[in-house]
Amino acid sequence: MKKGLLLVALLSLFAGVAWASTVAIVDSGTDIFHPAITYKIWENKGESRFDNAIDDDKNGYIDDVYGWNFGDDNNQLIDMNLAQLLNADVSRFFEIQAKSYDGTMTSDDLVWVRKMLEDQLFLARVERYAGFMHGTHVAGIVGSGNDNVELMIIKLLSTEASILKPSGMIVKSGNDADLSVIKAELKTLAQMQMRRLDLVSSYVGQKEADVANGSFGISFISIAESLAPAFGEFYGRAPTEAELYEITLYFFQEVLLNGKMVVQKAPNTLFVFAAGNDGTDNDTMPTSPANISNDNVISVAATFNNIALANFSNYGIKTVDVAAPGVNIVSSAPNNEYMRISGTSQAAPYVANIASRVKDANPRLSAGEMKLILCNTVDAKSFLAARVRCGGVVNGARAIRAAQLSRSLSLVDAINSAKTEVANMPTMKINKGGMVRQGAPELILPLPSYMTLK
């Protein structure tokens, strides 16, 4: 009798304890002292809270209390010296980016931004600051309204990362007709470029992260631009359009093949990747890692006010799974700042946020089951029917409800019941005449690249 009462008491106690999902913020670094996220930072219980220069948990990473910097191989999760890059002009650039999408950009704003887009030093400063603040902005979105989440900080990019330049890594060949030689070099390069991501995947798998957000990537266009001069050095002439497409596609095939093996090292983690900001079709012009195909990977496009695919967003009926809000998203920035930023970089953490709450609702769900719930509970949208595989925008309330129901129902029945119970999200009205006016896609920065020469 006493044992029975004790069991009832224990069950009552634990019934009120919320599951705390862990989301790895795989990015450019995160300001863990920002008030929006500081109380949500994951802590490695196997390490001392103090930097004691001892690998307490013996995982190969010394003092990885809140995560690890894989770019510089230390536990420094952000370089706050870069905060000084934010000045009045950089701030105004991002303000005008936002105003262009909410319809409030003035003629003075337009004149100013056109002038600044010609200033290469200014653009370099903007891009460098954007890279610096990127991870903090992403972390804020994952943590927004998500009180139970624990944010594991993974700095993937080196503070002073070099952009991929394959031309310096390829041995010249005199055979003008044979692409197999350059492909062999590209295969080796692809393997090299996935090594750091491989370490990240092993780490998040070892530390049992439920979700990993990856708002970074390389585009088909950027790699083609890098490979064109490499081809010239290799063969002594410019490539034809067909040749450039062939070798670029081959490089991505090898990268994505390696990427599939990478994410399989953390089978219980759902990887959420940004689709890309080039406005291109990932089915024909791949992006990595967004195009990695596996049960524990979901790729996210961005929408504009829930009424259109954002004009900068990549898409792909076969390779991009869902869409989520990605325009003028307010979130945290280093040094207690808040900024409005647009991109699939913002859409992906929106989905990661929902995914973590899905896991909270039913901790027994696998990464693949979480993906199925997110995909099959979307708000179906005609403008996404031929653009993303699941045909709609992620509906957070419906996905979470499906997860709750899945504790006692089959996954299929839980999803169907949630569809009946939870309505579509409100949709912003379109202007008279049915025209959707969006902002200037040329003001949207590309995804941070994870490929370097280091």
For position 449, what pLDDT does the model report?
86
Q: Which mean pLDDT values do the consecutive 10-residue runs of the chain (454 residues) have?
A: 41 51 97 98 88 84 94 94 97 97 94 96 96 97 96 84 47 63 90 92 97 97 92 89 96 97 98 98 98 98 95 98 98 98 98 99 98 99 98 98 98 98 85 69 89 52
Q: Which residues contact 179 (CB under 8 A, 6 or more apart)?
A: 243, 246, 247
Helices (H), 362-395: 367-376
For position 430, what pLDDT does the model report?
60
Are the CB atoms for 209 and 24 separated by under 8 Å?
Answer: yes
Q: Which residues contact 259 (CB under 8 A, 6 or more apart)?
A: 194, 197, 288, 289, 292
Tell me the three state secondary structure of residue 303: strand
Chain mean position to CA 220: 17
Q: Mapped to the 3 state alphabet, what secondary structure does 345-360 carry?
A: HHHHHHHHHHHHHHHH
Q: Bridge-partner residues for 439, per DSSP?
A: none
| Rounded percentage of the chain residues whose pLDDT exceeds 70 | 89
**What's the pTM value of the predicted model, to 2 decimals?**
0.92
CA distance 21 to 161: 31
For position 12, what pLDDT does the model report?
37
CA neighbor of 352 nearest in space, from 177, 248, 214, 200: 214
CA distance 292 to 273: 9
58-94, pLDDT tens digit by residue? 888 989 999 999 999 999 999 999 999 999 999 999 9
Domains of the chain: 19-429 (3.40.50.200)
For position 443, what pLDDT does the model report?
92
CA neighbor of 350 nearest in space, from 366, 365, 334, 329: 329
